[in-house]
Structure 1
Amino acid sequence: MSPTRGKGEGAVYQRSSDGLWCVSIELPGGVGRSRKVVCRKTKGNAIEALRALQDELARTGDIAKSTMQLSVWLDYWLPNISAPRNEPGTTKNQRGHINKWIAPALGRLPLSKLTPTHVRQLHKAVRDGGGSSTLVVQVHATLSVALRDAVREGKMRQNPCDLMDRPKGSTAAQKALTLEQTLSLFRYVMTRPLRHDWALWAAYLLTGTRRGELLGLEADRVGDVLDLSWQLQRITNIEDAPPNHVYRNVGGNLYLKKPKTKAGTRIIPLVDPLLSILAMHMEGRGPGLVFTEPDGSAIKPDEATRRWKKILAKAGLPEDVKLHGTRHTTVDLLAAAGVPAELRREIIGHSTREMTEAYRTKGNLPELTAAMKKMSALLSDETSRSDTSNTGSGKEAGQP
C-alpha cells in the first residue's frame, strides 16, 4: 500500500487493465476522500496532466470535476449567483433562454467538455427553432456569463465562449420621425387637449425619455425640472428582485423601480411649451402618477405602445416608428437646434460616467435648460410658420 499523500500531492501509476498511465490527486472539501483521476497513454503525458491539475488546485483552491453537467450548474447559478445581482426582467429572460434553448441543446454535457463547437451548435439550434439573430446574441450572452462564473468558482478551466467570436445581431437602424413628421404629430397632438393622453405624447416628443420614465413620473417630481428617479415596469417575477433594489407596487404586476445608485437618476429641465402643457394637464390633480388611465390607474407599458401606434395612424404617419424612436427624434431635434453633442447625450441619457456625475450634482443645469429652450423654440417656430402657411387652405392645421 502506498503511503498516505497530502491534498494536491498526487500519485502516478499504470493501470493493469488497459496499460494506461493514471494520475490521482486528492481534492479538498467533500465527505470522505475525494479524488480526481486522469489517464494518459504515456507516463510523461500523465505527469504533465498531474502538474496541470496541481497548478489549477493552487490557483483556484479546487479542481473542476468533469462529472458536473451544465444543467446542474445552471440550476444552481441562476437563483444563487445571477438573480441576486440582476433586475427581475433579466432573470426572467435568462430563465427562458436556459429552459427553451441552452438546457435542451447542451444541458447533459459536462462543463469540462464544452467547446466552441458546442456553442455554435446552440446558435444553430436557436436559428433552426425560428429565433432571430438578436435572440442568438441574447442566448449566447446568458451562456457566456454562466460559464464565466463557473470558471471563477473553479468548476471549469476555460470558458469556450471566450475562444470564439460573438454572434452578431441585427444592425437595422431604429426608425425615427423626421423633423417634418414630428411637427405634424406635435400639431395633431395639440388639437386633442381634452383627451387624457395628449400631454403624454407631447412629453415624449419634447423630452426623449424612455417609455417607463414618463409612465412612472409622479407629481412631486415635476417642478423646474423633471426628476426621472423612478421607472414604471411590468414585473411578473418580483420574487426574483435583488434585496438591494427598491420597488413600489402601483397595482397588479406594475412597479415603480428606483435606480440602484444616485448616478442612475436623470434630470431634464422643464421649459415651455411642455411646462405649460403639464401645468394644464395636472390642474386639479393630486399627488401620484402624472400620466394615468381615466380611472387614475397606471398606464401599462404595452398599452402605451399600442396607443402610440394608434395615434401615429390617426395623424397619417408611419406606424412602424416605435415609441422608443422618439428618443432618436429628440436627438435629431437637439442637433437641428444647434445643441452641442455633449449636452445632447446628457439630455437623452446616453452619458459617460463623468456626464452622469454632472447630472447628479446639477452643476450644468443652466446649460441643459438653455439647450431644451433651443429645441422647444425650434418646434414652436416651425409649427407657427406651418400654421401660417396653411391659413385659408380650408384644412385645419394638424389634421391628417
Structure 2
Amino acid sequence: MSKIRGDLNPPKYRESRGLWFATLDLGRGPDGKRRKVEVSSKTRAGCIQKRMARMKEIEDGTYTPGVKPTVGEWADHWCDEIASERVGPRTLANYRSYVRKHIAPHVGARRLDALSVDDVRALHRGMRESGVSDRTVQAVHNTLSKALKDAVREGVIAQNPCDRMDRPRARMQERGSYSRAEVRAILTTAEGDGPGEYSRWLAALTLGSRQAELLAVEWPRLDLDAGTVDVSWQVQQLPWRHGHGCACGPELSPRQCRHREPDAPSWYELRPAYKGTWFTRPKTAAGVRVLPLPGPLVDALRVWRDVAPTTSLGLVWPDNRGLPRLGREDREAWTDLCRRAGVRQLTLHSARHTMVSLLLDDGVDPEVIRQIAGHSTILSTRGYMHVSPDRARDALARLAG
C-alpha cells in the first residue's frame, strides 16, 4: 500500500460550509489516478480525530470507499440478494416483516457504518414501548445481527455492533406435554368423530410429526402392509413475487402479477398443491425420513382408507373440498377436541412434545427419539423432553435407596 500522507495535510476551515476538512493522500491507484479520502468535523480537534480513525481503518484494511448505505437500505438489499438465497420462503418472509415493521421505523435512516450499540438498544426499547413481546424483540435483534454480520463479511462496515452487546433475553415459554390419561381422553373423544379425525389425531400423538408434515401425507407415501409412512414433504402457503421480466407497475402486488411465482430460491424444492399452497421439503436433511407406524395407527388408517373420499391430490387428511387442510383450521379442530375431551388446552405442537416425552418415559434412547422427531441435533430433541412425575419420583427413590 502507498504511504498515507494525511499528516502532511493539516485541517483547513471552510467558512462556506462551517466545517473543518482534512484530506488523506493514498497515492496513486492501479489506474494511475491519485486516490484521496476527505473527512470533516465542526471542530479542528474533531477533524484530526476523524482523520486518525480513518487512517487506522485504511491501515487495518477495514475501510471501504464510497457512500455507505443506511441500515434500511442494507436490510432490504440483504433480504433480496443474500438471505433470499440462504433460507426458505417462510423464514425470508419473517425477515422482511421484521425489517418493515421494526428495523426500518426505528433505525432504518441511520447510516450503516454509524449504527451504534446505543442505537440497537434504542430499537429494543422502542419495540417494547409499542407493546411488542420479548420473543419478537429477540427475533428482530437476531435478524439485524445476521444482516450486519454479512455487511462485515462483505467489507461494507468494519464491525457488527450486535457483537458488542448481549442479546435481549426473552421469557421462556412453557412447553407442556399431555399425560397418558389425557392422551386416552383425547383419543376416546376423537374416535367418536369418525375414522378420518381419529386417525389424524392418533398420528399426531404417536408419530410426533410436525403439523405441516402430517397435512402433506399422501396415500402413495403410506405403506400399510410394511407399516411405514414417508414424511419427507410439508404443505405450506408461500408468498408470491413478480415473475421474471414481468411488466407490472409498482401499483400491482405480486399476487396480482399474471406471471407470479413463489418467492423461493432456485435451490428450494417444491411441488404445486393448490393456488398459493405448495408441497415443500423440510428445513433440514434430518426432516427427510420414513417412520414406522404403530399397530393401532395402521389399523385406524386401514379403516379410514376404506371410506375416505377420492381426491385429486391424494391427501390422507384433506379439507372437505379435497384440498390441503389449512393449518389454522387444523389447530381450531384440535382446540375444540381438547375442550370436549376435558383436558388442558395445550397447543397442537404439544402433541409432538407428548410423543417425545412418552418415548423418554418408556426408556427409548434419545438418539432414536431424535431420528423419529426429525431433529437435526440431540440438543433440539432435549427441548421436547418432559420427564413425568412418576418417573422422576422413581429415579429419586432409587437415588435415596
TM-score class, shorter-chain normalisation, is 0.7 to 0.9
2:339 to 313, 324, 334: 313
Alignment of 1:1-400 (within 5 A): 9=4, 11-12=6-7, 13-17=9-13, 22-25=23-26, 35-38=36-39, 41=45, 48-57=52-61, 63=64, 65=66, 67-194=68-195, 196-223=196-223, 224-237=227-240, 239-259=262-282, 262-283=285-306, 288-319=314-345, 321-352=346-377
Contact between 2:270 and 2:278, CA under 8 Å: does it hold in 1? yes
- 1:381 match: none
Structure 1, 47-56 or 242-251: larger mean CA deviation: 47-56
Q: Secondary structure at the match of 1:291?
A: coil
TM-score for both structures, normalised by structure 1: 0.77
User: What is the CA–CA distance in structure 2 between the aligned matches of 1:163 and 1:318, rounded to whole Å?
Assistant: 43
User: What is the CA–CA distance in structure 1 between the aligned matches of 2:67 and 2:26, rounded to whole Å?
Assistant: 14
Contact between 1:78 and 1:95, CA under 8 Å: does it hold in 2? yes
TM-score for both structures, normalised by structure 2: 0.77
The offset of 1:252, in angstroms, is 2.5
RMSD value over aligned CA atoms? 3.1
In the alignment, residue 269 of structure 2 is paired with which amino acid?
V
User: What is the CA–CA distance in structure 2 between the aligned matches of 1:27 and 1:140, rounded to whole Å?
Assistant: 42
The offset of 1:121, in angstroms, is 0.4
Contact between 2:68 and 2:156, CA under 8 Å: does it hold in 1? no
Structure 1 residues 188-219: Cα deviation after superposition (integer angstroms, max 9, x where no partner):
2223335x322111110111111101001111
The offset of 1:44, in angstroms, is 8.2
Contact between 1:186 and 1:205, CA under 8 Å: does it hold in 2? no
Report the count of equivalent residues: 345
User: What is the CA–CA distance in structure 2 between the aligned matches of 1:134 and 1:174, rounded to whole Å?
Assistant: 15
Structure 1 residues 65-105: Cα deviation after superposition (integer angstroms, max 9, x where no partner):
56421122122221111112111111111111111111111
User: What is the CA–CA distance in structure 1 between the aligned matches of 2:305 and 2:98, rounded to whole Å?
Assistant: 43
Change (3 A) 1:316 1:267: same
Structure 1, 43-52 or 183-192: larger mean CA deviation: 43-52
Structure 2 spans left out of the alignment, 5+ residues: 14-18, 241-260, 382-401
